[in-house]
């Protein structure tokens, strides 16, 4: 057991890092002094388990146990009812390391980067008080749809994992300001992310992106967009793909584009539902609609007068006079490119 020097009466922070501790003895502290401690730093020691003595620090709000050899967080951490921040980077923790009741804690910041998580623990996905969740440098392969429950989240750091897909439920995190998804295997960005109106920074570098959804232009508060190390930056992509529409889609297009009158009683319920799914062609010169069959078209949009980013557009047919035309003189393209003021996106990091 290693003891540390006596504390000042006004001390609220206890630094016990780099002392080669494998346990912690607080027996020589009075109860009043234990109650004074609000922050505890136990980084770079030899801890295999969270010392039981820590749980007698009843007013502890900040706990940093990074860079040890922890494999489990025991149940008695639940006694720290005032705990707001838990930092346990660079340990050996995984999705089975936390107690099932951990979801009841009122933690606001949880940083577990550099561990062995293969998935986000279900307990974390029920912690509605979480404002910051960092799980970078783990082994995560997916983001569960239940992430939508973390409605107070302002920072989500999932960089350096094995993630290939972003679920649209991420768009439910309306308080999110910083989203870090760099160094993964992501191939596309869901257009629903345009609902993240509070987003200031979006880190997507070192993924497999070949285009961005045009809806990203709706992120009016976005100040930083990091895209370096993606195929969209290192090669020029301008493809059109088109699957011919089915007979049902052709009939639906005719009904919607020509405003043919019908009532809900005229058609089966499934066809009524189908007609309600029509999407308008974004070309202002076209009055067409589409359902399942559309043209996927990559259009390069000018950001800040310097960077051209590939954005995905959908058109009703190849014959549509595209607002995404490669002709730099097209009126529609000029309108789109000038729609992003230079002061809105402060930093586009491509190189």
Q: How do the pLDDT tens digits run along the chain, 351 residues long?
A: 444 544 544 569 999 999 999 999 988 888 899 999 999 999 999 999 999 999 999 999 999 999 999 999 999 999 999 999 999 999 999 999 999 999 999 999 999 999 999 999 999 999 999 999 999 999 999 999 999 999 999 999 999 999 999 999 999 999 999 999 999 999 999 999 999 999 999 999 999 998 888 888 788 888 888 888 898 765 434 444 556 788 888 888 888 888 888 887 888 888 888 888 888 877 777 778 887 777 665 555 555 444 556 666 676 776 665 443 333 333 333 334 344 444 444 555 555
Per DSSP, 170 falls in state G
Check: CB of residue 44 under 8 Å from CB of residue 88.
Answer: no
User: For the whole model, what pTM was predicted?
Assistant: 0.72
pLDDT of residue 211: 85
pLDDT of residue 318: 65
pLDDT of residue 260: 83
Exposure of 317 by Cβ count < 10 A (0-12 exposed, 13-18 middle, 19+ buried)? Answer: middle
pLDDT of residue 311: 62
pLDDT of residue 258: 83
- Give the span between the Cα atoms of 16 and 3, in whole angstroms: 10
* Helix (H/G/I), strand (E/B), else coil: 210: coil
Q: Which residue has the tokens 């992430």?
A: 147
Q: How many residues does the structure list for the chain?
A: 351
Instruction: Give the closest residue to 125 by CA, choosing from 95, 89, 97.
Output: 95
pLDDT of residue 334: 35
Query: Residue-wise over 330-349: b if at least 16 C-beta within 10 A, else e?
Result: eebbeebbeebeeeebeebe
Beta bridge partners of 302: 308
Check: CB of residue 106 under 8 Å from CB of residue 84.
Answer: yes
- Sequence-ordered alpha helix ranges (H) in 139-241: 231-234
Exposure of 8 by Cβ count < 10 A (0-12 exposed, 13-18 middle, 19+ buried)? Answer: exposed
- Count of CB atoms situated within 10 Å of the CB of 201: 18
- Count of CB atoms situated within 10 Å of the CB of 57: 24
pLDDT of residue 180: 97
Domains along the chain?
A: 13-229 (3.80.10.10)
pLDDT of residue 301: 57
Per DSSP, 267 falls in state S
> How many Å from the N-terminal Cα to the C-terminal Cα in the chain?
51
């Amino acid at each position: 057991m290693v003891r540390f020097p006596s504390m000042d009466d006004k001390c609220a922070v206890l630094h016990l890092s780099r002392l080669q501790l494998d346990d912690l003895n607080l027996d020589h502290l009075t109860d009043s002094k234990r109650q004074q401690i609000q922050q505890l730093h136990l980084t770079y020691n030899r801890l295999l388990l969270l010392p039981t003595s820590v749980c007698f620090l009843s007013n502890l709000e900040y706990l940093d146990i990074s860079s040890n050899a922890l494999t489990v967080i025991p149940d008695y951490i639940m006694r720290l009812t005032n705990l707001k921040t838990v930092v346990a980077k660079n340990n050996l923790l995984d999705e089975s390391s936390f107690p099932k009741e951990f979801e009841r804690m009122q933690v606001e910041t949880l940083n577990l980067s550099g561990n062995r998580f293969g998935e986000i623990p279900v307990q974390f996905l029920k912690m509605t008080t979480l404002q910051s969740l960092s799980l970078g440098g783990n082994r995560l392969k997916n983001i569960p749809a239940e992430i939508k429950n973390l409605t107070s989240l302002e920072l989500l750091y999932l960089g350096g994992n094995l993630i290939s897909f972003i679920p649209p439920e991420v768009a439910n995190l309306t308080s999110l300001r910083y989203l870090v998804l760099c160094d993964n295997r992501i191939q596309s960005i869901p257009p629903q992310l345009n609902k993240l109106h509070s987003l200031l920074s979006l880190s997507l570098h070192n993924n497999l992106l070949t285009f961005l959804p045009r809806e990203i232009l709706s992120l009016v508060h976005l100040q930083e967009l990091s895209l370096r190390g993606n195929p969209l930056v290192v090669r020029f992509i301008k493809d059109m793909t088109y699957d011919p529409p089915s007979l049902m889609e052709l009939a639906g297009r005719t009904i919607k584009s020509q405003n043919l009158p019908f009532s809900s009683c005229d058609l089966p319920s499934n066809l009524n539902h189908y007609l309600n799914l029509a999407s308008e062609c974004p070309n202002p010169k076209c009055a067409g609609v589409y359902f399942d069959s559309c043209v996927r078209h990559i259009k390069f949009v000018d950001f800040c007068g310097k960077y051209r980013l590939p954005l995905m557009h959908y058109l009703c047919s190849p014959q549509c006079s595209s607002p995404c035309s490669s002709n730099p003189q097209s009126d529609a393209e000029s309108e789109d490119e000038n729609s992003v003021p230079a002061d809105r996106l402060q930093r586009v990091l491509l190189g």
